[in-house]
Amino acid sequence: MDWQLLDLLQRDGRMTFAELAKRVSLSAPATTERVRRLEQAGVITGYAAVVAPHRLGLPIEAIVRVRVRSLDTPRFRERVVTAPQVLDADHVTGDDCWLLRVVCRTMAGLEEFVELAQRYGDTTTSLVFSSAARNRPVTRELFGNP
Amino acid sequence: MDWQLLDLLQRDGRMTFAELAKRVSLSAPATTERVRRLEQAGVITGYAAVVAPHRLGLPIEAIVRVRVRSLDTPRFRERVVTAPQVLDADHVTGDDCWLLRVVCRTMAGLEEFVELAQRYGDTTTSLVFSSAARNRPVTRELFGNP
DNA sequence: GTTGAAAGCAGGAGGGT
DNA sequence: ACCCTCCTGCTTTCAAC
Protein backbone atom coordinates (compact mmCIF):
# COMPACT_ATOMS: atom_id res chain seq x y z
CA MET A 1 0.00 0.00 0.00
CA ASP A 2 2.74 2.46 0.99
CA TRP A 3 4.68 1.17 -1.98
CA GLN A 4 1.83 2.10 -4.23
CA LEU A 5 1.83 5.63 -2.82
CA LEU A 6 5.60 5.90 -3.20
CA ASP A 7 5.38 4.74 -6.77
CA LEU A 8 2.68 7.23 -7.67
CA LEU A 9 4.42 10.13 -5.94
CA GLN A 10 7.79 9.35 -7.49
CA ARG A 11 6.17 9.46 -10.92
CA ASP A 12 3.99 12.50 -10.26
CA GLY A 13 5.00 14.45 -7.21
CA ARG A 14 2.22 16.97 -7.66
CA MET A 15 -0.64 14.50 -7.68
CA THR A 16 -3.35 15.71 -5.29
CA PHE A 17 -4.19 13.64 -2.23
CA ALA A 18 -7.71 13.25 -3.60
CA GLU A 19 -6.40 11.72 -6.82
CA LEU A 20 -3.89 9.63 -4.89
CA ALA A 21 -6.71 8.37 -2.69
CA LYS A 22 -8.74 7.28 -5.72
CA ARG A 23 -5.80 5.35 -7.16
CA VAL A 24 -5.17 3.39 -3.99
CA SER A 25 -8.88 3.06 -3.12
CA LEU A 26 -8.68 4.82 0.22
CA SER A 27 -10.21 7.98 1.63
CA ALA A 28 -8.34 11.25 1.26
CA PRO A 29 -7.55 11.70 4.99
CA ALA A 30 -6.20 8.15 5.29
CA THR A 31 -4.00 8.75 2.27
CA THR A 32 -2.74 12.07 3.60
CA GLU A 33 -1.93 10.43 6.91
CA ARG A 34 0.11 7.69 5.23
CA VAL A 35 2.07 10.15 3.15
CA ARG A 36 2.77 12.29 6.22
CA ARG A 37 4.11 9.19 7.96
CA LEU A 38 6.40 8.44 5.04
CA GLU A 39 7.66 12.02 5.13
CA GLN A 40 8.29 12.00 8.87
CA ALA A 41 9.98 8.62 8.70
CA GLY A 42 12.44 10.18 6.26
CA VAL A 43 11.41 7.87 3.43
CA ILE A 44 10.17 10.81 1.39
CA THR A 45 12.72 13.57 1.84
CA GLY A 46 11.10 16.14 -0.42
CA TYR A 47 9.48 16.93 -3.73
CA ALA A 48 11.13 18.49 -6.74
CA ALA A 49 10.39 19.70 -10.23
CA VAL A 50 12.47 17.75 -12.74
CA VAL A 51 14.22 20.08 -15.16
CA ALA A 52 15.90 19.37 -18.53
CA PRO A 53 19.19 21.28 -18.49
CA HIS A 54 19.55 21.16 -22.28
CA ARG A 55 16.28 23.09 -22.60
CA LEU A 56 17.78 25.82 -20.49
CA GLY A 57 20.83 26.39 -22.62
CA LEU A 58 23.02 23.85 -20.83
CA PRO A 59 23.68 21.35 -23.61
CA ILE A 60 26.77 19.78 -22.07
CA GLU A 61 26.58 17.17 -19.36
CA ALA A 62 29.63 15.34 -18.09
CA ILE A 63 30.82 12.98 -15.40
CA VAL A 64 34.06 14.10 -13.84
CA ARG A 65 35.95 11.59 -11.73
CA VAL A 66 38.42 13.16 -9.36
CA ARG A 67 41.14 11.45 -7.38
CA VAL A 68 41.36 14.01 -4.63
CA ARG A 69 44.48 14.15 -2.47
CA SER A 70 43.15 13.50 1.00
CA LEU A 71 44.63 16.64 2.54
CA ASP A 72 42.81 18.70 -0.06
CA THR A 73 39.40 17.17 0.56
CA PRO A 74 37.98 19.98 2.72
CA ARG A 75 38.92 22.63 0.17
CA PHE A 76 37.65 20.42 -2.64
CA ARG A 77 34.27 20.18 -0.94
CA GLU A 78 34.14 23.93 -0.46
CA ARG A 79 35.32 25.09 -3.84
CA VAL A 80 34.42 22.34 -6.28
CA VAL A 81 31.47 20.40 -4.90
CA THR A 82 29.57 23.62 -4.20
CA ALA A 83 30.06 24.99 -7.72
CA PRO A 84 26.70 25.53 -9.43
CA GLN A 85 27.71 23.27 -12.34
CA VAL A 86 27.75 20.29 -9.97
CA LEU A 87 24.38 18.58 -9.86
CA ASP A 88 25.51 15.37 -8.12
CA ALA A 89 28.64 14.69 -6.08
CA ASP A 90 29.36 11.27 -4.64
CA HIS A 91 32.25 10.23 -2.44
CA VAL A 92 33.05 6.67 -3.45
CA THR A 93 35.44 3.79 -2.86
CA GLY A 94 38.14 2.97 -5.37
CA ASP A 95 40.80 4.99 -7.11
CA ASP A 96 38.50 7.81 -8.11
CA CYS A 97 37.41 9.20 -4.77
CA TRP A 98 34.77 11.54 -6.18
CA LEU A 99 32.26 11.35 -8.98
CA LEU A 100 30.70 14.62 -10.10
CA ARG A 101 27.86 15.12 -12.54
CA VAL A 102 28.19 18.58 -14.06
CA VAL A 103 26.27 20.61 -16.63
CA CYS A 104 27.76 23.42 -18.70
CA ARG A 105 26.75 25.95 -21.28
CA THR A 106 29.89 25.59 -23.39
CA MET A 107 32.92 23.36 -23.74
CA ALA A 108 35.02 26.26 -22.54
CA GLY A 109 32.95 26.28 -19.38
CA LEU A 110 33.56 22.59 -18.86
CA GLU A 111 37.25 23.07 -19.49
CA GLU A 112 37.36 25.80 -16.88
CA PHE A 113 35.55 23.60 -14.39
CA VAL A 114 37.85 20.65 -15.00
CA GLU A 115 40.87 22.91 -14.55
CA LEU A 116 39.45 23.99 -11.20
CA ALA A 117 38.95 20.37 -10.18
CA GLN A 118 42.47 19.50 -11.34
CA ARG A 119 43.84 21.71 -8.61
CA TYR A 120 42.74 19.12 -6.08
CA GLY A 121 43.64 15.90 -7.84
CA ASP A 122 43.75 14.01 -11.13
CA THR A 123 40.56 13.99 -13.16
CA THR A 124 38.94 11.83 -15.81
CA THR A 125 36.10 13.40 -17.74
CA SER A 126 33.39 11.61 -19.71
CA LEU A 127 30.80 13.46 -21.75
CA VAL A 128 27.26 12.14 -21.50
CA PHE A 129 25.83 11.10 -24.88
CA SER A 130 22.43 10.30 -23.45
CA SER A 131 20.77 9.04 -20.31
CA ALA A 132 18.79 5.84 -20.69
CA ALA A 133 17.47 6.30 -17.15
CA ARG A 134 17.43 9.27 -14.80
CA ASN A 135 16.15 9.14 -11.26
CA ARG A 136 14.13 6.06 -11.88
CA PRO A 137 11.63 5.40 -9.06
CA VAL A 138 12.57 3.00 -6.29
CA THR A 139 10.06 0.15 -6.47
CA ARG A 140 8.99 -2.85 -4.49
CA GLU A 141 10.42 -5.13 -7.20
CA LEU A 142 13.83 -4.48 -5.68
CA PHE A 143 12.89 -6.93 -2.95
CA GLY A 144 12.41 -9.90 -5.22
CA ASN A 145 16.18 -10.51 -5.41
CA PRO A 146 18.60 -10.66 -2.44
CA MET B 1 11.23 35.63 -13.17
CA ASP B 2 10.96 32.14 -14.71
CA TRP B 3 14.26 31.37 -13.01
CA GLN B 4 12.71 32.24 -9.70
CA LEU B 5 9.82 29.86 -10.37
CA LEU B 6 12.20 27.11 -11.47
CA ASP B 7 14.27 27.57 -8.37
CA LEU B 8 11.28 27.40 -6.04
CA LEU B 9 9.76 24.39 -7.79
CA GLN B 10 13.04 22.48 -7.86
CA ARG B 11 13.34 22.95 -4.10
CA ASP B 12 9.69 22.27 -3.29
CA GLY B 13 7.82 20.62 -6.09
CA ARG B 14 4.56 20.57 -4.16
CA MET B 15 4.42 24.29 -3.42
CA THR B 16 0.95 25.55 -4.30
CA PHE B 17 0.57 28.04 -7.13
CA ALA B 18 -0.93 30.46 -4.64
CA GLU B 19 2.22 30.29 -2.49
CA LEU B 20 4.41 30.45 -5.57
CA ALA B 21 2.50 33.53 -6.70
CA LYS B 22 3.13 35.27 -3.37
CA ARG B 23 6.87 34.56 -3.53
CA VAL B 24 7.25 36.03 -7.00
CA SER B 25 4.73 38.84 -6.38
CA LEU B 26 2.34 37.85 -9.13
CA SER B 27 -1.27 36.75 -9.25
CA ALA B 28 -2.03 33.04 -9.06
CA PRO B 29 -3.34 32.67 -12.64
CA ALA B 30 -0.30 34.46 -14.09
CA THR B 31 1.97 32.15 -12.13
CA THR B 32 0.08 29.05 -13.25
CA GLU B 33 0.31 30.23 -16.84
CA ARG B 34 4.09 30.68 -16.61
CA VAL B 35 4.60 27.26 -15.09
CA ARG B 36 2.41 25.65 -17.77
CA ARG B 37 4.56 27.32 -20.40
CA LEU B 38 7.71 25.94 -18.80
CA GLU B 39 6.16 22.49 -18.77
CA GLN B 40 5.06 22.63 -22.40
CA ALA B 41 8.42 24.00 -23.49
CA GLY B 42 9.96 20.86 -21.98
CA VAL B 43 11.95 22.81 -19.41
CA ILE B 44 10.04 21.19 -16.57
CA THR B 45 9.65 17.53 -17.52
CA GLY B 46 7.82 16.41 -14.41
CA TYR B 47 7.59 16.41 -10.65
CA ALA B 48 8.80 13.69 -8.32
CA ALA B 49 8.89 12.74 -4.68
CA VAL B 50 12.50 12.37 -3.56
CA VAL B 51 13.01 9.10 -1.72
CA ALA B 52 15.88 7.95 0.52
CA PRO B 53 16.69 4.38 -0.53
CA HIS B 54 18.52 3.59 2.72
CA ARG B 55 15.29 4.28 4.62
CA LEU B 56 13.57 1.66 2.54
CA GLY B 57 15.98 -1.14 3.33
CA LEU B 58 18.34 -0.43 0.43
CA PRO B 59 21.54 0.52 2.26
CA ILE B 60 23.92 -0.13 -0.61
CA GLU B 61 24.47 2.33 -3.40
CA ALA B 62 27.09 1.86 -6.06
CA ILE B 63 28.33 3.25 -9.34
CA VAL B 64 29.03 0.53 -11.87
CA ARG B 65 31.03 1.46 -14.93
CA VAL B 66 30.59 -0.93 -17.81
CA ARG B 67 32.65 -1.17 -20.98
CA VAL B 68 29.98 -2.73 -23.12
CA ARG B 69 31.00 -4.54 -26.31
CA SER B 70 29.20 -2.62 -29.02
CA LEU B 71 27.41 -5.63 -30.49
CA ASP B 72 25.94 -6.36 -27.05
CA THR B 73 24.56 -2.88 -26.51
CA PRO B 74 20.93 -3.64 -27.45
CA ARG B 75 20.78 -6.62 -25.07
CA PHE B 76 22.58 -4.62 -22.40
CA ARG B 77 19.93 -1.92 -22.61
CA GLU B 78 17.15 -4.50 -22.37
CA ARG B 79 18.48 -6.67 -19.61
CA VAL B 80 20.73 -4.47 -17.50
CA VAL B 81 19.61 -0.87 -17.87
CA THR B 82 15.99 -1.86 -17.23
CA ALA B 83 16.80 -3.76 -14.02
CA PRO B 84 15.00 -2.21 -11.04
CA GLN B 85 18.31 -1.71 -9.19
CA VAL B 86 19.38 0.82 -11.82
CA LEU B 87 18.34 4.33 -10.85
CA ASP B 88 20.49 6.20 -13.38
CA ALA B 89 22.10 4.97 -16.58
CA ASP B 90 24.24 7.21 -18.75
CA HIS B 91 25.88 6.42 -22.05
CA VAL B 92 29.15 8.32 -22.06
CA THR B 93 32.34 8.95 -24.01
CA GLY B 94 35.59 7.34 -22.96
CA ASP B 95 36.63 3.83 -22.12
CA ASP B 96 33.71 3.12 -19.84
CA CYS B 97 30.76 3.36 -22.19
CA TRP B 98 28.10 3.19 -19.49
CA LEU B 99 27.75 4.53 -15.97
CA LEU B 100 25.05 3.00 -13.81
CA ARG B 101 23.91 4.10 -10.38
CA VAL B 102 22.42 1.12 -8.58
CA VAL B 103 20.88 0.49 -5.19
CA CYS B 104 20.79 -2.90 -3.46
CA ARG B 105 19.49 -4.51 -0.32
CA THR B 106 22.57 -6.66 0.26
CA MET B 107 26.10 -7.11 -1.00
CA ALA B 108 25.01 -10.43 -2.45
CA GLY B 109 22.43 -8.55 -4.46
CA LEU B 110 25.06 -6.15 -5.78
CA GLU B 111 27.32 -9.06 -6.61
CA GLU B 112 24.52 -10.68 -8.57
CA PHE B 113 23.86 -7.48 -10.45
CA VAL B 114 27.51 -6.95 -11.31
CA GLU B 115 27.73 -10.53 -12.55
CA LEU B 116 24.78 -9.82 -14.82
CA ALA B 117 26.46 -6.67 -16.13
CA GLN B 118 29.74 -8.59 -16.64
CA ARG B 119 28.03 -10.66 -19.29
CA TYR B 120 28.03 -7.60 -21.54
CA GLY B 121 31.44 -6.13 -20.83
CA ASP B 122 34.09 -5.39 -18.23
CA THR B 123 32.92 -3.59 -15.12
CA THR B 124 34.40 -1.37 -12.44
CA THR B 125 32.32 -0.95 -9.29
CA SER B 126 32.59 1.83 -6.71
CA LEU B 127 30.55 1.87 -3.54
CA VAL B 128 29.11 5.22 -2.56
CA PHE B 129 30.24 6.38 0.89
CA SER B 130 28.06 9.45 0.83
CA SER B 131 26.58 11.98 -1.53
CA ALA B 132 27.63 15.58 -0.94
CA ALA B 133 25.05 16.68 -3.51
CA ARG B 134 22.10 14.94 -5.13
CA ASN B 135 19.96 16.46 -7.82
CA ARG B 136 20.99 19.96 -6.96
CA PRO B 137 18.72 22.54 -8.63
CA VAL B 138 19.80 24.10 -11.89
CA THR B 139 20.17 27.80 -11.22
CA ARG B 140 20.68 31.02 -13.08
CA GLU B 141 24.19 31.30 -11.59
CA LEU B 142 25.31 28.82 -14.21
CA PHE B 143 25.24 31.64 -16.71
CA GLY B 144 27.82 33.78 -14.95
CA ASN B 145 30.70 31.72 -16.37
CA PRO B 146 31.15 30.70 -20.04
C1' DG C 1 -1.12 40.89 -16.84
C1' DT C 2 -5.50 41.45 -13.17
C1' DT C 3 -9.85 40.40 -10.57
C1' DG C 4 -14.02 37.58 -8.96
C1' DA C 5 -17.07 33.48 -8.64
C1' DA C 6 -17.68 28.41 -8.79
C1' DA C 7 -15.79 23.81 -8.29
C1' DG C 8 -12.49 20.98 -6.07
C1' DC C 9 -9.04 20.08 -2.51
C1' DA C 10 -6.71 19.99 2.24
C1' DG C 11 -6.79 19.38 6.99
C1' DG C 12 -9.31 19.02 11.28
C1' DA C 13 -12.97 16.94 14.49
C1' DG C 14 -15.55 13.15 15.77
C1' DG C 15 -17.00 8.39 15.54
C1' DG C 16 -16.81 3.38 14.03
C1' DT C 17 -14.21 -1.13 13.19
C1' DA D 1 -3.89 1.37 15.00
C1' DC D 2 -6.44 2.29 11.22
C1' DC D 3 -10.03 3.86 8.67
C1' DC D 4 -14.40 6.65 7.41
C1' DT D 5 -17.64 10.85 6.86
C1' DC D 6 -18.58 15.61 7.45
C1' DC D 7 -17.32 20.49 7.62
C1' DT D 8 -14.57 24.83 7.01
C1' DG D 9 -11.12 27.54 4.66
C1' DC D 10 -7.77 27.53 0.65
C1' DT D 11 -6.58 26.60 -3.83
C1' DT D 12 -7.41 26.15 -8.56
C1' DT D 13 -9.70 27.32 -12.71
C1' DC D 14 -12.41 29.80 -15.92
C1' DA D 15 -14.40 33.71 -17.34
C1' DA D 16 -14.41 38.76 -18.34
C1' DC D 17 -11.51 42.63 -18.45
- Domains parsed from chain A with CATH numbers: 2-40 (1.10.10), 53-127 (3.30.70.920)
pLDDT at position A96: 81
Enumerate residue ranges in chain A where pLDDT < 70.
none
Query: Does the CB of A16 fall within 7 Å of any strand C atom?
Result: yes
Task: Read off the pLDDT of residues A116-129 as tens digits, 9 standing for 90 and up.
Answer: 999 999 999 999 99
On the question of pLDDT at B125 being above 90, the answer is yes
Q: What's the rounded mean pLDDT across residues B110-118? A: 98
Quote the CA–CA distance of A46 and B127 in Å, as a whole number: 24
* Residue environment code for A123-132, b if the CB has 16+ CB neighbours within 10 A, otherwise e: bbbbebeeeb
Half-sphere exposure of A50 (CA within 13 A, CB side): 16
Residues 18-57 of B with CB under 7 A from strand C: 26-30, 33-34
pLDDT at position B96: 81
pLDDT at position A132: 98
pLDDT at position A146: 76
Q: Which residues of B touch A94 (CB under 8 A)?
A: 124-127
A to B CB pairs, distance under 8 Å: 223
Q: What's the rounded mean pLDDT across residues B22-50? A: 98
On the question of pLDDT at B91 being above 90, the answer is yes
Identify the DSSP state of B138.
Answer: P
CA dihedral A85, B134, A50, B95 (to 10 degrees): 70
Across chain B, mean pLDDT equals 97
